[in-house]
Copies of this chain bind each other. A is one copy, B any other.
Amino acid sequence: MCTSVNSDASAPLRIVVIGAGNVASHLAPAIESSGVGAVVQVYSRKLQSARELTRKLQNAQAIDSEAAICDDAEVYLVSLVDDAIGPLVSRMPKRGNALWLHTSGSVGMEVLAPMSERYGVFYPLQTFSKGVEVDVSKVPLFIEGCTSGVEEEIRRFATPVFSHIYHADSHTRRMMHISAVFACNFTNYLWTIASELLKKEDLPFEVLHPLLEETLKKAFAVSPEKGQTGPAVRGDLAIVNKHLSVLDGQSKEIYSLLSEAIISHHHSFGK
């Protein structure tokens, strides 16, 4: 009962979304809004999560049973925690020649090979949290198809939704994902530490807002390397050590390691 993606270019593609996490919750409504696809089912192990997502969709069914995943959709969009993708695929019967895509930065596309002759990757480089709106059209999307024809199909599918679509193979995508972990996830955790230090002084995180905006603006304007400031890049070890003396636990370890790294990065002329 599989219909080729190309059978009727004007009708929205019938899509099954597997996973109802942060990424799926932003992609599925954006795909429907673009008109390129209609989500027919959202699968999640937690029915409640699937239902939360289907409430944002036009006519999708929420399911929590893998066996209930229909076999006649045209696109299966797998947006699960990375190490859940392989096990799911190993339990599912093959879905003819439907287009199978996953959204992971760090999993090779071959994990989907058992499902179909047509598979690939659909990786949006962005941080998504439920309840925080994102303009998906501005997000860079990195795609990879199992053949150049399939990649072209993926590109056509993505074009109504995304404005910036790039090819990336598995290695490049993984390195991009790692760089995003440093640039976004770790950065955000450093802000969490900063916010907790301020809270102990009864100061709100807001007091740092101008500093954070300026830091980002400067990194964009002159590159992060040239925009580096602070005690470590100045080689001001008296301050580094004074700061270490009032920190403890993991914050102290992080302060120490990052200061060492900045010093060795910026003061390694003689090496």
- A226: chain B residues at CB < 8 Å are 129
A214 at the interface (CB under 8 A from B): yes
Copies in the complex: 2
- Interface size range on A against B: 35 or more
**Does the CB pair B185–A246 fall under 8 Å?**
no
For A166, give the chain B residue with the smallest CB separation. Answer: B207
**Does the CB pair A257–B257 fall under 8 Å?**
yes
Q: Identify whether the interface residues of A are mostly helix, strand, loop, or mixed.
A: helix
Q: Please choose the segment from A7-15, A37-45, A48-56, A120-128 that sits at the chain B interface, where 4 or more of its residues have CB less than 8 A away.
A: A120-128
**Does the CB pair B81–A224 fall under 8 Å?**
no
A138 at the interface (CB under 8 A from B): yes
User: Contacts A106-B242, A229-B127, A238-B82; is A208 near B183 (CB within 8 Å)?
Assistant: yes
**Does the CB pair A215–B201 fall under 8 Å?**
no
How far is it, in angstroms, between the C-alpha of A236 and the C-alpha of B179 when the chains are bound?
Answer: 17
A271 at the interface (CB under 8 A from B): no
For A220, give the chain B residue with the smallest CB separation. Answer: B209
**Does the CB pair A180–B194 fall under 8 Å?**
yes
For A206, give the chain B residue with the smallest CB separation. Answer: B220
**Does the CB pair B224–A188 fall under 8 Å?**
yes
